[in-house]
Amino acid sequence: LGNAYMMNAGHADAIFYHPALLVGASGFGLDVQRWGANSSSTTVSAARQWLGGGIGVGLQTLQYGAQAEGLLAAPAGQDHLFTLGASPVSERVATVAYARELGGLDIGIATKLVEERVGTTRDAALLVDFGVAADLGPVRAGLTYRNGGRDLSPGGLDMARPDGLTFGVGAYGEQVGILDVGFTGAVTYVGDQVVPSGGVEVGYWPIRGRTFVARIGAQRVHAGDASPVSLGFAFWGDNVTLEWAFQPVDVEGASGTHRFGVRWR
């Protein structure tokens, strides 16, 4: 969906996009993304209702090989993830978040321990996300400030801290004939860049509790050779969801990056 989160999904991975959406969220999710055979990312999240609100935990990791330990260790875009450099780089983010309804708004806060390793150097910092969400007629909207805190500089290398604002709006479940249709959109302001994104998903359920979902999304790409368009497919079966997403990236003979996910409610 162009990296725009479906605002009323009710999944635990809302912790990475809008922590206020943890109100009403539950379950466990696991995602793995691959850039060829050279780089990979793993994401794990879990959420449940607790103390009148929603609590969530998450872990994100990314491993790749950089061409050098200097400024080339973390270039913009995704192109460098398809090559295997001599300098190992790893990023880890552990997140704990809590959200509850206050005064008609859902309010959430997330604390994140971020660790960056480049070669033999390391740095870590605590960052904070804060957001609000509410139902606006038929759609759900959320505004989140992400990555508040200090920059990381492993070994003196200045690693960009992408703090900024994200506003998202969307909803799933509009019935159009035999189909269920959803849409989501977001605008993210990071540094001096504005990144609009959004997507549409269409579901068909021949049997109640068995839904097949097709997705298409788009986002502005500021760096690299990644396509602005992404595609996806999901199967919702009772309490289990299987998902696949693909973004074309024309680099190093690769067709693109694939992401696979499974969720339990």
Confidence of residue 70 (pLDDT cuts 50, 70, 90): low
Confidence of residue 69 (pLDDT cuts 50, 70, 90): low
pLDDT at 161: 67
pLDDT at 158: 61
pLDDT tens column, 134-185: 999 999 999 999 999 888 777 666 666 678 999 999 999 888 989 999 999 9
Calculate what percentage of the chain has a pLDDT beyond 70.
Answer: 95
pLDDT at 120: 83
Q: Mean pLDDT for the chain?
A: 91
- Structure-model confidence comparison of residues 55 and 65, the more confident one: 55
Query: What does residue 13 show for φ and ψ, rounded to 5 degrees?
Result: -70, 0
pLDDT at 147: 92
Cβ proximity of 66 and 82 under 8 Å: no
Q: Is the pLDDT of residue 67 over 80?
A: no
Q: How far is CA 31 from CA 126, 159, 240, in A?
A: 24, 25, 14
List 102's β-bridge partners, or say none.
105
Q: Is the pLDDT of residue 12 over 90?
A: yes
* The token pair that represents 221 in the structure block: 């790409």
Confidence of residue 72 (pLDDT cuts 50, 70, 90): low
Average pLDDT of the residues in 44-48: 98
Q: Is the pLDDT of residue 119 over 90?
A: no
- Structure-model confidence comparison of residues 123 and 72, the more confident one: 123
